[in-house]
Amino acid sequence: MNQVATAPRKTARKAKGDGHLRRAEILDAAERIFVADGYEGATIRRIAEEVGVSSTALYMHFPDKACILQEIVEGTLRQLLARNTDIAQRPLDAVARTRMMLDAYMRWALEHPNAYELVYCARGPVSTDTPERPSDLSRQCYEAFSGVVREVAAAGRLRTGDGDSAAQALWMACHGVVTLMISRPNFEWADREELMRITLDGMLHGLVAD
C-alpha cells in the first residue's frame, strides 16, 4: 500500500520546461510551512519534500530560504497594495474607505503572518538582492491609506490631530492588534472578527466627528 501511495508524487513531477509553475509551487508550499512551523522551523529539505522535488532541484529556483521568504513578502505586499488602491478609488465616503482599508490590512496580516513580521516587526532575514523592494511596496500601501485619511481631515471631520498623525495612529493601533495575535497564538483571545470590529469601532468613533 505504501509503495502505491508514493507513486503519484514521483510521476506528477513537471517537465523541466514548467519552471515557472514549479516556482509558484515552491512559494505556495513554503508559505504553508512558514505559517505552520515558523521561519526557523522550515528547511529547504522540508519545502522540497512538500513540493515533490529534490533539494538540489529547489536550489535551481532559490539559493536559500531567505530568498523564498523575500519573494513571498513581495507577492503578498502587492496583494495589499492592490486592495488599498482599489478601495481608495471607490466612490465611497472617505471614512468608510478608511475603515475598509484598515480591515483589509489586519486581514492581510493574519493571512500572511511571516511576511507581516518580516516587513513590520523588523524580525527575520531579508535577502540582500533587492533590499528596497518590500519597503517601497509597504510605503506605497501606506500612502494609499494615508491619502484617504487626509481626505477625512480636509473635510474637517477629525476630532483631533491632522491627516498624517491620524493615519499613523490608526495604523499603529491595528499593528498592535495583529502583532499580538500573531506573536501570542496561545493566548485566549476573544473572537477574531469581534476584536477587529471593536478596534475599528473604537478608533473611528473616537477620532471622526459625525
**Tens-digit pLDDT profile for residues 129-171:** 444 467 788 899 999 999 999 999 999 999 999 999 999 999 9
Q: How far apart are CA 25 and CA 43, in angstroms?
A: 16
Report the number of secondary-structure helices (H) and strands (E) in the chain: 10, 0
Q: Residue 175 above 70 pLDDT?
A: yes
Q: Residue 91 above 60 pLDDT?
A: yes
Residue range 9-31: mean pLDDT, rounded = 67
Q: How far apart are CA 53 and CA 35, in angstroms?
A: 21
Domains of the chain: 15-59 (1.10.10.60), 65-207 (1.10.357.10)
Give residue 133's pLDDT: 66
**Neighbouring residues of 160: CB distance < 8 A, sequence distance ≥ 6:** 166, 207
**Tens-digit pLDDT profile for residues 92-135:** 999 999 999 999 999 999 988 877 887 787 444 444 444 446 77
Cβ distance 18 to 51 under 8 Å? no
Q: How far is CA 52 from the centre of its chain?
A: 26
Q: How far apart are CA 41 and CA 84, in angstroms?
A: 32
Q: How far apart are CA 106 and CA 127, in angstroms?
A: 25
Length of the chain: 210
The residues facing 208 across adjacent strands are 158
In three-state form (DSSP H/G/I as H, E/B as E, the rest C), the secondary structure along 180-201 is HHHHCCCCCCCCHHHHHHHHHH
**Tens-digit pLDDT profile for residues 51-83:** 999 999 898 999 998 889 888 888 888 989 999
First-to-final CA distance of the chain: 67
